[in-house]
Amino acid sequence: MTHTVLRIDTSARREGSISRRLTDRVIDRLAAERVITRDLAEPLPAVNEDWIGANFTPEADRSADQKAALALSDDLIAELRAADTLVIGLPIYNFGAPVSFKTWIDLVARAGVTFRYSEAGPEGLLEGKRAILVVASGGTEAGSTIDFASTYARHVLGFIGITDVDIVTADQLAIEPEATIRAAEAQIDDLAA
């Protein structure tokens, strides 16, 4: 069976990005047969009133325009469903995730599609997948009380059913860049392939 990785780059920087560089290393480490790449430096459209109206209309009742409004969201969800492992390059911008990542989440977290509500509360529908977050920051310590990027990413992935989450950290790059990158590379080398 082919192992498929969905690579999601969220850095606005295409050149010189530490999260992209380390994500490359994770992809090499996994040696997947198939890699789907979604580069969010190319902005996704934000959810708007037309999208929300289409999303809350039962699928059988959607007009052609409503289906078109959800087409990109459907494609992003198909990428998620096809993947066994997600590798997400996640720089921390001003204590949080880049807006590109939040926009992606808004487009893939859909009630009845990637999660559902039950009497026991929300239930993720994308179980059995693994995620590897590659977190890079200049000064924010990953997992600290001021890190609203990796904690948000872990929570929202769990919300849609992806609870097997590893985090590679290259945090505090502004303080000791070389040592921080070496430590992150060692974390990657220790990941189960």
Superfamily (CATH) of domain 4-190: Flavodoxin domain (3.40.50.360)
φ/ψ of residue 92, rounded to 5: -100, 120
Show the CA angle centred on residue 143, arms to residues 138 and 146, nearest 5°: 65
- pTM higher than the cut 0.85: yes
pLDDT, tens digit, 9 for 90 and up, residues 21-70:
999 999 999 999 999 999 999 999 999 999 999 999 999 999 999 999 99
177: tokens are: 């860049």
- What local confidence, expressed as pLDDT, does residue 157 receive? 98
Q: Rounded CA gap, 27 and 162, in Å?
A: 19
The residue with tokens 């590897």 is 132
Identify the band that residue 181 occupies on the pLDDT scale cut at 50, 70 and 90. very high
Question: Burial code of 44-81, b = ≥16 C-beta within 10 A, e = fewer?
Answer: beeeeeebeebbeeeeeebeeebeebbeebeebbebbe
Answer for the pair 171, 180: CB distance below 8 angstroms, yes or no. Answer: yes
Residue 11 annotated as lining a ligand binding site: yes
- What local confidence, expressed as pLDDT, does residue 147 receive? 95
Q: At 120, is the secondary structure helix, strand, or coil?
A: coil
- What local confidence, expressed as pLDDT, does residue 2 receive? 82
Residue 19 annotated as lining a ligand binding site: yes
pLDDT, tens digit, 9 for 90 and up, residues 60-118:
999 999 999 999 999 999 999 999 999 999 999 999 999 999 999 999 999 999 999 99
- Cα–Cα separations (whole angstroms), residue 126 to 49, 143, 161: 26, 24, 5
Does pLDDT of 132 surpass 90?
A: yes
In the chain, the amino acid numbered 154 is R
The length of the chain in residues reads: 193
